[in-house]
Structure 1
Amino acid sequence: MIKIQAIFTAVFLLATIGINDAVAHEDETHYDRIQLSVSATAQLENDTMVATVSAQEEGSQAAQLSTLVNQRIRNALELVKKHPQIKHQTNAYSSNPIYNKNKITGWRVSQSLRLESSNMALMSDVLGKLQADLALQSMQFTVSPASKDKQDELLIDEALEAFSKRAQQVVNKLGRRNYKIVDINISTSGGRGIRPQYQMRAMAMDAESSPAISAGEQTVTVTVSGKIELE
């Protein structure tokens, strides 16, 4: 019993010493630590077009209107599917009553089709054809994930090099020998936003009228921030 108690006491003392060492380590004051932050920025051209077209019908027979809308969307899909470069997706279908003096006097049925492609010339041509029967609701531009990732890689290299140069500059100016990195963080921003070109509501353009295109650019930024300790 005495032996077991002695072992327990020894273990307790070791644990207490370990805790005290950890607390002392946490309370230890670090000198000559400097926080740095640098950024690398580039302009990236929007290379992807996203457009939404829609079909809408109004009348007294909801079932008949639904048939008409479905047929118009099917016709659009037949055209779009001829071009594998264009991604497509049908969006929400809606059927809403039209009221007059609190009574249902008719129905409004609609459905939209979302299109996306990096081939903007093709998209413009297809949209021009679709507008013979559908309304162009919106047309927007963004940066493809592949382009964004490629640009991020270049900017990360540039930002890390700038961080290293800034740290060395601090070392030289303060007359120290060297430095070590305590922690470092890399963050990216920009490049995946949406730049609106058209935002219209059930407004069809002339048949075979291709919309004018101005894709524009977005700013992509990589920031490297961290803490160094001078030696």
Structure 2
Amino acid sequence: MKKPLAAVLLGLAALSTAHAEDKPVYDRIAFAVTAEKEVTNDMLAAVLYAEQQGQDTVAMADAVNQSITWALELAKPETAVESRTLNYTTNPVYTDGRVTGWQVRQSIQLKSKDSKALSGLLGKLQEKLRIEGINYSVSPEVKAETEKALIDQALKNFKDRAEQLKAGMGRAEYRVVRLDVQAVGGESPPMPMYRMAAMSADAAPAAPSLEGGKQNLQVNVQAEIELSLQ
């Protein structure tokens, strides 16, 4: 004997309701945790440049090229210092809206973990080049190693906080909805650019004092969890 359609539908609805009641219901909570460590800025990078202004672009380019070549040759024996060339530009110089000359300029970058070697080299290079800026940072190796440990610590902090919230709210369990992990830090702002007047060969300035200091590396975790209602 076939059951009436209404009875069948009513039975299915009851089963669906019962199944829905068996599924846990959750409250959602968002929070953030951080792990950080102070590390030494062990990498220094300096940018220097040679510049000429005037009318004869060929002669100016030759003078700039000679200065850069001289600088790279001087830096080559310093095995603790990595050197590379940067931008080479030729730009017009304007006076009252008119082109009255040209500026030829090229930069080089020096990087080293040895502040003493870099400082000594900068003192020599200032005979013909000018320092544009010096930047302190954490080397990639130290940064990667530190961030790995900080991620482990940040995730532990997340688990501890989630368990604290679960216990404090009197709930049986939680589940992770969202987990964003972000590393912050590793490079300090460069020293302000400064320019020095041209100097004669016998009036080179003293080598700059370099002290990288320290900075905080951080790993931030943005989390969202759901707490069961039971």
In structure 2, the partner of 1:6 is none
- Number of equivalenced pairs: 205
Q: Structure 2: any 5+ residue segments left out of the alignment?
A: 1-15
The Cα offsets for residues 149-200 of structure 1, whole Å up to 9 and x where unpaired, read as 11111111111111111111122223333333333221222223x3223411
Q: TM-score of the superposition, structure 1-length normalised?
A: 0.76
In structure 2, the partner of 1:167 is 162
Q: Secondary structure at the match of 1:156?
A: helix
Of the three residues 135, 144, 149, the one matched with 1:149 is 144
The Cα offsets for residues 65-107 of structure 1, whole Å up to 9 and x where unpaired, read as 2211111110101111222332222122223444567776544
Is the aligned partner of 1:183 residue 2:150?
no
Residues 168 and 66 from structure 1, CA distance in 2 versus in 1: closer, same or farther, beyond 3 angstroms? Answer: same
Q: Is contact 1:136–1:203 with CA below 8 Å preserved after alignment?
A: no
For 1:94 and 1:186, how far apart are their aligned partners in 2? 41
In structure 1, the partner of 2:64 is 69
Q: Write the mapping of 1:98-137 to structure 2, written as runs, cut at 5 A.
A: 98=93, 106-137=101-132
More moved, 139-148 vs 203-212:
203-212
Q: TM-score of the superposition, structure 2-length normalised?
A: 0.76
In structure 2, the partner of 1:16 is none
Residue 128 of structure 1: how far off its partner (Å): 0.7
Is the aligned partner of 1:220 residue 2:214?
no
Q: Is contact 2:50–2:67 with CA below 8 Å preserved after alignment?
A: yes
Residues 109 and 229 from structure 1, CA distance in 2 versus in 1: closer, same or farther, beyond 3 angstroms? Answer: closer
Of the three residues 195, 202, 211, the one matched with 1:201 is 195
Q: Is contact 1:42–1:220 with CA below 8 Å preserved after alignment?
A: yes
When the two chains are superposed, the root-mean-square deviation of aligned CA atoms in Å is 2.8
Percent same amino acid among aligned pairs?
A: 35
For 1:199 and 1:111, how far apart are their aligned partners in 2? 16
In structure 2, the partner of 1:210 is 207
One-letter identity of the residue aligned with 2:160: K
Q: Secondary structure at the match of 1:199?
A: coil
